[in-house]
Amino acid sequence: MKRIFVNEKWCLGCRLCEYYCAFANSGEINMVKALKDKPIYPRLRVEDDGGVTYAVSCRHCTDPLCVRSCIAAALSVDAGVVTIDRDRCVSCYTCILVCPYGALAHDDAGVVRKCELCLNNAIGQPACVAGCPNRAIVYEER
């Protein structure tokens, strides 16, 4: 299965991926309308320690700890993709605590959001990959 991988060597820390992610999952067709004057809740985050930058997103583990620990059965694996049923999430954040990659976060409503490879939005393929100016984020079989 194709997954998102990050080549840290080429990550510039520009954070365009975060904005393209937030836009892709906004349901809007215009980026300005989607993101202007609003806090964004992207499903991946660029970690930056001042020297190394790295976009962190869901690894779609084969045996995901988040799915195993979800008390509300909101998280599940669908054809290899770890997906979330936001209606079922009870905001206990156990998944956020157990994820070894720190790839999960919640939005302003307190509901967990996670990367679903843009398979469930209008973009249809990972927007972070398409928007990365330096091919630091790739979507491929490994």
Partner 1 sequence: MRIEYVYPEFEVVRNEARCIQCRVCERQCANEVHSFDPDTGLMLSDESKCVNCQRCVALCPTRALKIVKSDCALRENANWPQGLIKEIYKQANSGGVLLSSMGNPNPLPVYWDKILINASQVTNPSIDPLREPMETRVFLGKKPAKVERDEGDGLKCTLAPQLTLAMPVMFSAMSYGSISYNAHESLARAADALGIYYNTGEGGLHEDFYRYGQNTIVQVASGRFGVHKDYLAAGAAIEIKMGQGAKPGIGGHLPGAKIVGDISRTRMISEGTDAISPAPHHDIYSIEDLRQLVYSLKEATEYKKPIIVKVAAVHNIAAIAGGIARSGADIIAIDGFRGGTGAAPTRIRDNVGIPIEPALAAVDQRLREEGIRNQTSLVVGGSIRSAADVVKAIALGADACYIATAALLALGCHLCRSCHTGKCNWGIATQRPDLVKRLNPDIGSERLIRLMTAWKHEIMELMGGMGINSIESLRGNRLMLRGVNLNEKELEILGISHAGE
Q: Which residues bind partner 1 (CB under 8 A)?
A: 9-10, 12-16, 18-20, 23, 31-32, 35-37, 131, 133-136
Of 63 and 108, CB closest to partner 1: 108
Of 5 and 13, CB closest to partner 1: 13
CB of 84 to partner 1, least distance (A): 25
CB of 40 to partner 1, least distance (A): 8
The label of the residue with tokens 């054809």 reads 79
CA 63 to CA 80: how far, in whole Å? 10
Instruction: Return the structure tokens found at 138.
Output: 């790739």
CA 78 to CA 85: how far, in whole Å? 11
Of 40 and 77, CB closest to partner 1: 40
φ and ψ at residue 35, rounded to 5 degrees: -120, -15
